[in-house]
Structure 1
Amino acid sequence: MTAGMVGPPWTRTRISAEQYDSWSEEQCAGIEIVEGLVVVSPSASKRRNRLARILANALDAAAGADWNGDTDFDVRLRDAPLTNRRPDVILYRAETIDLTPTRPEHVLLVVEMVSPGAEATAPAAKADQYAEAGIPFYWRVEQAATGVPIVYTCVLDPATKAYRDDGTFTGTVNVTAPFPVTVFLEDV
Structure 2
Amino acid sequence: LANALDAAAGPDWNADTDFDVRLQDVPLTNRRPDVTVYRAETIDLTPTRPEHVLLVVEVVSPGSETTDRIVKVDQYAKAGIPFYWRVEQAATGVPLVYTYVLDPATRAYREGEMFTGAVKATAPFSLTVDLGDA
Do the structures match in fold with TM over 0.5? yes
Q: Which amino acid aligns with 2:85?
A: W
**Contact 1:107–1:135 under 8 Å retained in 2:** yes
Q: Which amino acid aligns with 2:110?
A: R
2:52 paired residue number: 106
Q: Say which SS state the counterpart of residue 115 (structure 1) adopts.
A: coil
Structure of greater Rg: 1
Hey, what's the Cα distance between the residues in 1 that align with 2:18 and 2:59? 11
TM-score scaled by length of structure 1: 0.68
2:82 paired residue number: 136
User: Which residue of the other structure, out of 2, 6, 10, is the alignment partner of 1:64?
Assistant: 10
Hey, what's the Cα distance between the residues in 2 that align with 1:151 and 1:117? 18
Hey, what's the Cα distance between the residues in 1 that align with 2:102 and 2:118? 22
> Is the counterpart of residue 85 in structure 1 residue 10 in structure 2?
no
> Is the counterpart of residue 183 in structure 1 residue 132 in structure 2?
no
> Is the counterpart of residue 122 in structure 1 residue 67 in structure 2?
yes
TM-score scaled by length of structure 2: 0.95
Q: Which amino acid aligns with 2:95?
A: P
> Is the counterpart of residue 161 in structure 1 residue 107 in structure 2?
yes
1:123-151 Cα offsets, whole Å, 9 max, x none, are 21001000000000000011111112110
- Cα RMSD of the aligned pairs, angstroms, is 1.1
Hey, what's the Cα distance between the residues in 2 that align with 1:117 and 1:60? 28
Hey, what's the Cα distance between the residues in 1 that align with 2:71 and 2:122? 26
Hey, what's the Cα distance between the residues in 2 that align with 1:155 and 1:80? 25
**Contact 2:18–2:34 under 8 Å retained in 1:** yes
**Contact 1:116–1:143 under 8 Å retained in 2:** no
Which 5+ residue runs of structure 1 have no aligned equivalent?
1-54
**Contact 2:86–2:99 under 8 Å retained in 1:** yes
Which 5+ residue runs of structure 2 have no aligned equivalent?
none
Runs of 4 or more, structure 1, over 6 Å off, are none
C-alpha distance 118-87 of structure 1, shift in aligned 2 (>3 A): closer
Hey, what's the Cα distance between the residues in 1 that align with 2:63 and 2:92? 15
Q: Greater strand share, 1 or 2?
A: 2
What percentage of residue pairs aligned between the two structures are identical? 78
